[in-house]
Structure 1
Amino acid sequence: MEMDELRVALFSGNYNYVRDGANQALNRLVDYLLRQGARVRVYSPKVEEPAFECAGELIGLPNLPIPGRGEYRLPLALSAEVKQDLAKFVPNIVHVASPDIAGHRAVTWAKEREVPILASVHTRFETYPRYYGMAFLEPVAVALLRRFYQRCDALVAPSESMAAVLREQGMNDDISIWSRGVDREIFDPSRRDLAWRRELGIADDEVAVGFLGRLVMEKGLDVFSETIAELRKRDVKHKVLVVGEGPAHEFFSQNVPDAVFAGFQRGADLGRAVACMDMLLNPSVTETFGNVTLEAMACGIPVVAARATGSTSLVADGETGRLVEPGRIGDFADVVEAYCRNDALRKEHGAAGELRSRDYSWDAINSAVAEAYIRLVTANEEAVSA
C-alpha cells in the first residue's frame, strides 16, 4: 500500500482552538500526510477565534466548555452531519487523539464498519486528579482509559518510557513510538538575547531558572514554587523567568512573587525566550513526551525534570540535565542550586542537550505514524479478504 492511498479520519478534542504541544504535533502530522499525497479529514471542536490556523480541513464536532476549564471544549458526539461527512469520505483508517465522548463514538463507528483504529496518547490524563485534591479517582481514570484504548487496534506513544507505562497498565498490546520533533529555526542557542533579558530586569550575571508551558496546576506549579522557596531560604542567587499563560497565573504569581512573567510567546519570540533561560525546571509528571524539554535542549540549556514519562527518554541524567524523583522539593532544590553555582557545569550539560536534540526531525518522526497506518490498513484488508 502506498501513502497516497491513505484516507485518514482524525478525531481530536483540541486541534487548534487552544495552542499546546499535542495539537501542534497533530497539525504537523496532518501537514506531512497531505504533502505525501494522503487524504485527511479532521474532526474536532471549532471556535470563532482559534489559536492558530490549522493544517488540513477541519469539521466541527458538537461540544461544550469543560466545567472549571472553559478554554477547553468537550466533544459530545458525532452529529448527523459528521456521520454523513464520514460516509462520503470513506476513511480506511480512523485516528483518535483523545479519549473523550466523541472519541468513543468514533471508535464505535469504525468498529461497526471494520475500519482499523489507531489511538495516539498525548498526556497522562489519569494523573490529573491528584492536582485537584482527588487522587483517589486515579484508579478509576486508569480503568476508563484502559476500556477506551483496548477497543483500538494499536496505540502510538511519544516516548518509550510512556509506552512502558501503557503496557504495564494493560492499555494495549500493540504500541509503537511516535516521538516529537523540534523546529531548529526557532529553537537554537543563537536566539539568546541579553538585551531582551535586561528589559525584563534580568541582569547578565543572574541565573534565570525557567518555566515554560501553560500555567495549569497539572504542570507541577506547586513543586516549582516550593523549590524556588527553598532556594530563597538557602540564599541562592537566581531569577525566575516564566514563559506562558493560563488559569493558574494568580496562584503562580502569588507563590513565586519575584518571578518575571514574560507571558505567552510564539515563533521566533518563543525561541528567544527559551534561549534566554539558563536552565529549565520542569517538575510535571503528566507529560508523555515533554515538548518543552526538547525545545530547551535545542536552545542549549540544561533541564531539571521529574523522573517521569517523557523526561526519562529525553534527559540523560548528569549529561544533558538532571532527573529528580517527583515531588522531592529538597532534591529539586539541590540540583537547581548546583547549576546556579556552577556556570561550567550548566554550559556543559546544555551543550550536550543541544547535540542530542539534533536527532529529532519532524518528517522522519511523522513517517512512523504513516507506517503504522499502512500496517493496520494492510492487515485489515487481508483479514477482510480472508
Structure 2
Amino acid sequence: MRVATAFKLPESAAPAPQTRPAHPLRVALYSGNYNYVRDGANQALNRLVTFLEAQGCVVRVYSPTSDTPAFEPAGTLVSVPSFAIPGRSEYRVAPGLPDRLKADIRDFAPDIIHLSAPDPAAHAAKKLARRLGVPVVASIHTRFETYFEYYGLGFIRPGIEALLRRFYHGLDEIFVTSQGFGQTMRDTGIIGMAPAVWSRGVDKARFNPGRRSPEWRWSLGIADDEAVIGFVGRLVLEKGLDMVAAAVNELTQRGVKHRLLVVGDGPARAHFEALVGAGKADGAIFTGFLDGTNLARAYASADMLLNPSTTETFGNINLEAMASGIPVVAARAGGNETLVSDGITGALVEPRDMRAYADALAGYCRNANLRAAHGQAGLAAANAYDWDVINGAVLSRYRDVIAAKHS
C-alpha cells in the first residue's frame, strides 16, 4: 500500500512534461458537508483547499450549505440543493446535481474532480467527470456503513455496502486516512484498488502541553487528586458513548478516583448526561462545544483521553491529545491503531471490552508517572504529523493522476 510521502508512478509510466496542465491546476471538490457542521473530515478538507490555493491552484467547492454554518469556508463555495436527514437534522443530503451546477462545473473546466461523500450528488459528479474525460478521485473519511447499527438499522448495512462498492469502483484514485483503514476497506470489499494515504496533521502551536491550566480545572470543581478522563467529540451514539459511560461507571464501582470531562455537544447529550451522572457533585463535567485555544486548554488540562469510537478512520482527537502531552485509551479499530502505540503512547482495547477500558483507565488514574511517560512519548510521535507535508503529498498525487490520464 502506498504511503503519503511516496506518490510516484513507475519510471516506465512517467509522462512527458508537456502532458501536465500549463495553467494553474483547477480542482473541483464535492463535499457532503464542507462547513455547516464542524468535524474532523470537513476541517481537513478546508485545510486542503487553503493549502492548494496557497500553492497557486484554483479550487471550486460544491456542497450542501446551511444558513447557520459552523465556520467560514476556505475557498469558493457553491451551494448544492439539499434536505435535512430525518432524525439527524444537523446533517443534510444532496439528492443530485441540478443541470445548472453541471454547467457550472463544465464552465470551470477542472483538471481533476475530488469527491468526499458517496451521496447521490457525488454519483452524478462522478458520471459528469467521465463524460468530460476528467480524472476523478475520492476520499473516504468515515465508516459510514457502520452508523446504522447504532440506531437499530443494522439490517440495511449490506445494501449500503453494495452502494459504496459501486461508488468507489472505477475511480482514478482513492484516498484513505491510514494504511490500516485502507486495508479494512479492501478486506470488506468496499474498495478494490490499493488506496493512497492522505493522513492528518496537527497544529502544534495550538495543541501543546503548555496549555495546561490548573486554574481552569479548579474553576470546574476538579480536585488536585482527581485524574481527569477527557472525552472530546460530537455527542452522537456512533462515538461510543455507551462504552464511555460503562467504563467510567466501572471505575466508580472499583473506587478509582477520577472525573470525566466531556467536551462537545450533539443530539445525544441529554441521554449521555443521564448515563454519567452529570450535575452530581462528583459526576461528569460537560463543557459544551469548545474551539480554538479553549479546546487546546481542555485537552492539555485532562490527564488522559478516552476514545472508544470504532467509526473513526484516523482519529484527529487522538493526535490532538498526543500533541497536548496526554496518553490515549482507544478502541483497537479504524485509524486508532495507526496513531496509538499500545503500552507506549496509550492503550488499545478491544472495542466492546468494558472491563479492559476500565483497567487501562485505572492504570493511568493511579499512576501519574505512567501517564506522564506515555504522554511524553505521544508528544514526540505527534511531531511527525505536519499539515503542509501531508497536503503537499495530495497535490503531488493529483498531478500524477492528471499526467497519467493525459499520457
Q: What TM-score does the superposition give when structure 1 sets the normalisation length?
A: 0.97
Alignment check: 8 A CA contact 1:3 1:37 kept: no
Match of 2:158 in 1: 139
State, as a whole percentage, how many aligned pairs show the same letter. Answer: 53
Match of 1:184 in 2: 204
Alignment check: 8 A CA contact 2:182 2:194 kept: no
What secondary structure, in the 3-state scheme, does the structure 1 residue paired with 2:66 have? coil
The structural deviation recorded for 1:2 is: 6.9
Q: 1:217 aligns with which of 237, 240, 248?
A: 237
What secondary structure, in the 3-state scheme, does the structure 2 residue paired with 1:5 have? coil
Tell me the distance in 2 between the aligned counterparts of 1:105 and 1:276.
Answer: 46
The structural deviation recorded for 1:329 is: 0.4
Alignment check: 8 A CA contact 1:107 1:151 kept: no
Alignment check: 8 A CA contact 1:4 1:36 kept: no
Match of 1:20 in 2: 39
Tell me the distance in 2 between the aligned counterparts of 1:103 and 1:2.
Answer: 24
* 1:306 and 2:306 aligned: no
Match of 1:124 in 2: 143
Alignment check: 8 A CA contact 1:126 1:142 kept: yes
Match of 1:243 in 2: 263
Tell me the distance in 2 between the aligned counterparts of 1:239 and 1:4.
Answer: 56
Task: Give the 3 Å change call, closer, same or farther, for CA 275–314 of structure 1 in structure 2.
Answer: same
Tell me the distance in 2 between the aligned counterparts of 1:188 and 1:150.
Answer: 41
Q: What amino acid maps onto 1:189 in structure 2?
A: P
Match of 1:65 in 2: 84
Match of 2:15 in 1: none
Tell me the distance in 2 between the aligned counterparts of 1:360 and 1:295.
Answer: 10
Q: How does 1:281-320 map to 2 (within 5 A)?
A: 281-320=306-345
Alignment check: 8 A CA contact 1:8 1:95 kept: yes
What secondary structure, in the 3-state scheme, does the structure 2 residue paired with 1:136 have? helix
Tell me the distance in 2 between the aligned counterparts of 1:363 and 1:3.
Answer: 24
What secondary structure, in the 3-state scheme, does the structure 1 residue paired with 2:165 have? helix
1:155-204 C-alpha deviation (Å, 9 max, x unpaired):
00011111111222231314110000001111000000111111111112
* 1:77 and 2:127 aligned: no
Match of 2:295 in 1: 270
Tell me the distance in 1 between the aligned counterparts of 2:225 and 2:21.
Answer: 55
Moved more, 308-317 or 198-207: 198-207
Tell me the distance in 1 between the aligned counterparts of 2:351 and 2:163.
Answer: 24
Tell me the distance in 2 between the aligned counterparts of 1:84 and 1:337.
Answer: 59
Q: 2:351 aligns with which of 313, 320, 326?
A: 326
Tell me the distance in 2 between the aligned counterparts of 1:3 and 1:103.
Answer: 28
Tell me the distance in 2 between the aligned counterparts of 1:82 and 1:164.
Answer: 35
Task: Give the 3 Å change call, closer, same or farther, for CA 318–108 of structure 1 in structure 2.
Answer: same
What secondary structure, in the 3-state scheme, does the structure 2 residue paired with 1:126 have? helix
1:127-168 C-alpha deviation (Å, 9 max, x unpaired):
111211222332222222111111322100011111111222
Alignment check: 8 A CA contact 1:16 1:54 kept: yes
Task: Give the 3 Å change call, closer, same or farther, for CA 77–22 of structure 1 in structure 2.
Answer: same
Alignment check: 8 A CA contact 1:3 1:370 kept: no
Match of 1:381 in 2: 406
Tell me the distance in 1 between the aligned counterparts of 2:155 and 2:247.
Answer: 26
Runs of 4+ in 1 over 3 A off after TM superposition: 1-5
Task: Give the 3 Å change call, closer, same or farther, for CA 3–178 of structure 1 in structure 2.
Answer: farther
Alignment check: 8 A CA contact 1:7 1:93 kept: yes
Alignment check: 8 A CA contact 1:242 1:262 kept: yes
Match of 1:175 in 2: 195
What secondary structure, in the 3-state scheme, does the structure 1 residue paired with 2:89 have? strand
Unaligned runs of 5+ in 2: 1-19, 278-282
Alignment check: 8 A CA contact 2:138 2:173 kept: yes
Alignment check: 8 A CA contact 1:188 1:299 kept: yes
Q: What amino acid maps onto 2:119 in structure 1?
A: D
Match of 2:364 in 1: 339
Tell me the distance in 2 between the aligned counterparts of 1:186 and 1:331.
Answer: 32
The structural deviation recorded for 1:81 is: 2.2
RMSD (Å) for aligned C-alpha atoms: 1.2
Alignment check: 8 A CA contact 1:215 1:249 kept: yes
* 1:101 and 2:120 aligned: yes
Tell me the distance in 2 between the aligned counterparts of 1:313 and 1:340.
Answer: 24
Moved more, 19-28 or 67-76: 67-76
Alignment check: 8 A CA contact 1:4 1:37 kept: no
The structural deviation recorded for 1:25 is: 0.1
What secondary structure, in the 3-state scheme, does the structure 2 residue paired with 1:296 have? helix
Moved more, 230-239 or 140-149: 140-149
Alignment check: 8 A CA contact 1:11 1:44 kept: yes
Q: What TM-score does the superposition give when structure 2 sets the normalisation length?
A: 0.92
Q: What amino acid maps onto 1:338 in structure 2?
A: G
Q: What amino acid maps onto 2:104 in structure 1?
A: D
What secondary structure, in the 3-state scheme, does the structure 2 residue paired with 1:72 have? strand
The structural deviation recorded for 1:69 is: 0.7
Q: 2:75 aligns with which of 56, 63, 68?
A: 56
What secondary structure, in the 3-state scheme, does the structure 2 residue paired with 1:115 have? coil
Q: What amino acid maps onto 2:372 in structure 1?
A: K
Count of aligned positions = 382
Match of 1:41 in 2: 60
